[in-house]
Structure 1
Amino acid sequence: MAGFFAKLKEGLTKTRQNFVGKVEEVFTGRKKIDEELYEELEEVLITSDVGVNTSFELVERLRKEVKQRKISDPNELTGVLQELIAELLGEETGIAFAKQGPSIILVVGVNGVGKTTTIGKLANWLKKDGKRVLLAAGDTFRAAAIDQLEVWGERSGAEVIKQREGADPAAVAYDAVQAAKSRNVDVVIVDTAGRLHNKVNLMEELRKVKRVMEREIPGAPHEVLLVLDATTGQNALQQAKLFQEVAGVTGIVLTKLDGTAKGGVVIGIQGETRIPVKWIGIGEGMEDLRPFVPEDFAAALFGKQDKEESF
């Protein structure tokens, strides 16, 4: 089986063609670095789902680097831009765990982004890391969500705490926290409803769930992970901003990065919200959800050679 870096590089092929290909077109064949080049680059970044503000920021940073390093050859700019993107994406940030007692991870996101699948894969990863994991079926709005979580619970070997369809999600969260305390569970992953038609309702529901958990375990939830679908591009960026306001998101899981031309949205999300991307999904398999390593992402995006992996 191909290593994860090779798989990431392959998964980013369409994004590379859409994004890096167009960037290189701007730089190639030019004799000098001028204002026209910067304007064209800005346009390419914006149309590659990087986001307006982040595109401006990257171009400004590039201008500074060109002056500081006294670069005159446009062909050198691709490497500099890769460095700036890796820098913008920040350091690798792992999941925040509680110092003692169960760690609570609240997972939010709209329907259809792969939220339940992500929970199952995350549970599998944590189980392999030797942690006892419990899943809470807090999306009581859809019966299918509860059933789907149970399937993933079986696959990953994690027990699922559930109630009937239409039950109060905060009650499910309460049951899960109590079960975790009595069974010496290390991590509780709580699913939530993904409907967005009424922001006020969603806000109130999430606040109530968080309040119940915080009352039972001070500091909970220790992580609020937002699941976004990379194929939606700018839409994912809008969702990130909304959930940041509503749920106090601490980290992002970006799914479906393989096969999309819109992977540039990773840069936009990080630049516009400053919420760290913590995990990425690049396939259907159980092992295809991995911690996000910014440096590896930038290298794979720009099509660098495979390197030795720690995975």
Structure 2
Amino acid sequence: MEEYIGYLVLVVAIAALALVSVFLLFRPKTRRPPSVPAPPETPAAEAPGRPAATEEEEAAGTATTTVPPPPAEELVKPPAIEVPPPSAGRMVRLRSRLARSQNVIGRGLLELLSRDRLDDEVWDEIEETLITADVGVAPTRAMVENLRTKVKVLGTRTEEELRALLREELLAQVGPDLDRTLRTEPTGERPAVVLIVGVNGTGKTTTAGKLARALVGDGKKVLLGAADTFRAAAADQLQTWGERVGAAVVRGPEGADPASVAFDAVAKGIADKVDTVIVDTAGRLHTKVGLMDELGKIKRVIEKKAQVDEVLLVLDATTGQNGMRQAQVFAEVVDVTGIVLTKLDGTAKGGIVISVQRELGVPVKLVGLGEGPDDLAPFDPKLFVDAIVGD
């Protein structure tokens, strides 16, 4: 019996050994990654970018390792403060640009006046030329009547004599004696307040920025009020103009009450002792009664804090007589004190200067003669007429 048990144990052992051999023979082979020696330990105090742990923290096993943030880089640099040229003499520098567009009127009139025979047909052409240039019907008739009388008296008509006659008549219609002073000087502790108004697309915000630039060039401290709260882009545009010349800008959230923003701008202007506060307003159609009433409200609210010294109506010179009705409504609502004619360099219809002054009884004080930042100039009647009639 014992021999049988021993024999059985031997058989089981041989079978187990065979099974192990088969498993080792057929199991999948895996490649072990090469061992990488561990880096030498670095003391916490010497680890780059980590502060050394205090003794108390080491003892407690709670030492923290904080990587300080990288130094903040200035991603957007503020624009450099520019030093604009003074406003004096700007129209002289821009005269050639004005002459290129307005001299068409003068050449046409001189050609007609130089004809050997000035009959009714020629005078009708002269009248048509002036009306086409947006001089207006009433001023045109007055000019033609005066020219006919003087030509008859003169007799001979050399080119220089005709140019002198035309210059004299145009200058009389433009109004060389009108007060074109721009009231931007502070009164005592109160800054001058300039309100910019007009219809959509005439260039009000650009005019406000260019005017601020011109005043800074004249040595004045200026503050801009972004009371066009209907368009965030208008406030952003005004902000850019202010940053370029170092003028502060007061603005409110989009959709805020424009009168409130205008009031805050004037209040800050008084507190900061600035010389001039320029308030830009939203463009509005003259036919929208609600918006026109709002414009009147802006002016009334400002006047609770300070007097409004100038209300400048911005008109696009290219609209011609279409802008006359707009101008009349604005004048009725806010008592316009001066006209700004923009885009005067791009049209041969400079006669709008004559007609708008005649209709409103308000002088043209500023003209836009280009798209450059320094292309807004005080209006000079003599230079304007000289540009029309040429040398």
- Please confirm whether the aligned pair reaches a TM-score higher than 0.5, indicating the same fold: yes
1:284-303 matches, within 5 Å, as 284-303=371-390
Is 1:81 the counterpart of 2:166? The answer is yes
The answer to which of 53-62 and 144-153 deviates more is 53-62
CA positional deviation for 1:263: 2.2
Matched pairs, number: 297
CA distance in 2, matches of 1:232, 1:56: 22
Give the conservation status (yes or no) of the 8 Å contact 2:94–2:375. no
CA distance in 1, matches of 2:313, 2:229: 18
CA distance in 2, matches of 1:20, 1:225: 29
CA distance in 2, matches of 1:78, 1:273: 29
For structure 2, list consecutive stretches of 5 or more residues without a partner in the other structure. Answer: 1-88
CA positional deviation for 1:78: 3.5
The residue number in structure 2 matching 1:45 is 130
Give the conservation status (yes or no) of the 8 Å contact 2:107–2:389. no
The residue number in structure 2 matching 1:122 is 211
CA positional deviation for 1:29: 2.0
The residue number in structure 1 matching 2:284 is 195
TM-score (norm 1): 0.88
1:108-257 matches, within 5 Å, as 108-196=197-285, 198-217=287-306, 220-257=307-344
The residue number in structure 2 matching 1:309 is none
Give the conservation status (yes or no) of the 8 Å contact 2:151–2:157. no
What secondary structure, in the 3-state scheme, does the structure 2 residue paired with 1:79 have? helix
Task: Give the one of 86, 107, 116 matched to 1:30.
Answer: 116
Give the conservation status (yes or no) of the 8 Å contact 1:120–1:153. yes
CA distance in 2, matches of 1:291, 1:82: 20
The residue identity in structure 2 corresponding to 1:124 is R
Structure 1 residues 15 and 165: CA distance shift in structure 2, 3 A: same
Structure 1 residues 235 and 6: CA distance shift in structure 2, 3 A: same
Is 1:71 the counterpart of 2:157? The answer is no
What secondary structure, in the 3-state scheme, does the structure 2 residue paired with 1:196 have? coil
Is 1:20 the counterpart of 2:103? The answer is no
Give the conservation status (yes or no) of the 8 Å contact 1:86–1:295. yes
The residue identity in structure 2 corresponding to 1:265 is I
CA distance in 2, matches of 1:15, 1:293: 14
Give the conservation status (yes or no) of the 8 Å contact 1:116–1:148. yes
What secondary structure, in the 3-state scheme, does the structure 2 residue paired with 1:228 have? strand
Give the conservation status (yes or no) of the 8 Å contact 1:27–1:78. no
Structure 1 residues 44 and 247: CA distance shift in structure 2, 3 A: same
The residue number in structure 1 matching 2:358 is 271
Structure 1 residues 147 and 263: CA distance shift in structure 2, 3 A: same
For structure 1, list consecutive stretches of 5 or more residues without a partner in the other structure. Answer: 305-311
What secondary structure, in the 3-state scheme, does the structure 2 residue paired with 1:216 have? coil
CA positional deviation for 1:35: 4.1
What secondary structure, in the 3-state scheme, does the structure 1 residue paired with 2:277 have? strand
What secondary structure, in the 3-state scheme, does the structure 2 residue paired with 1:269 have? helix
CA distance in 2, matches of 1:149, 1:141: 14
CA distance in 1, matches of 2:303, 2:367: 28
CA positional deviation for 1:235: 2.3
CA radius of gyration, larger in: 2
What secondary structure, in the 3-state scheme, does the structure 1 residue paired with 2:182 have? coil
The answer to which of 135-144 and 258-267 deviates more is 258-267
The residue identity in structure 1 corresponding to 2:107 is G
Pairwise CA RMSD? 2.2
Give the conservation status (yes or no) of the 8 Å contact 1:5–1:300. no
The residue identity in structure 2 corresponding to 1:117 is T
The residue identity in structure 2 corresponding to 1:276 is P
The residue identity in structure 1 corresponding to 2:365 is K
Structure 1 residues 197 and 107: CA distance shift in structure 2, 3 A: closer
The residue number in structure 2 matching 1:262 is 349
Deviations 1:13-63 (A, max 9, x none): 23322x2222123212223x5544433321211112111122122223334
Structure 1 residues 301 and 163: CA distance shift in structure 2, 3 A: same
What secondary structure, in the 3-state scheme, does the structure 2 residue paired with 1:240 have? helix
Deviating beyond 6 angstroms after TM superposition, the runs of 4 or more aligned structure 1 residues are: none
The residue identity in structure 2 corresponding to 1:43 is E
Give the conservation status (yes or no) of the 8 Å contact 2:103–2:390. yes
The residue identity in structure 1 corresponding to 2:187 is K
Give the conservation status (yes or no) of the 8 Å contact 1:54–1:272. no
CA distance in 1, matches of 2:333, 2:110: 39
Structure 1 residues 146 and 14: CA distance shift in structure 2, 3 A: same
Structure 1 residues 198 and 272: CA distance shift in structure 2, 3 A: closer
CA distance in 2, matches of 1:3, 1:148: 24
Give the conservation status (yes or no) of the 8 Å contact 2:224–2:242. yes
The residue identity in structure 1 corresponding to 2:322 is N
The residue identity in structure 2 corresponding to 1:157 is G
What secondary structure, in the 3-state scheme, does the structure 1 residue paired with 2:314 have? strand
CA positional deviation for 1:105: 0.3
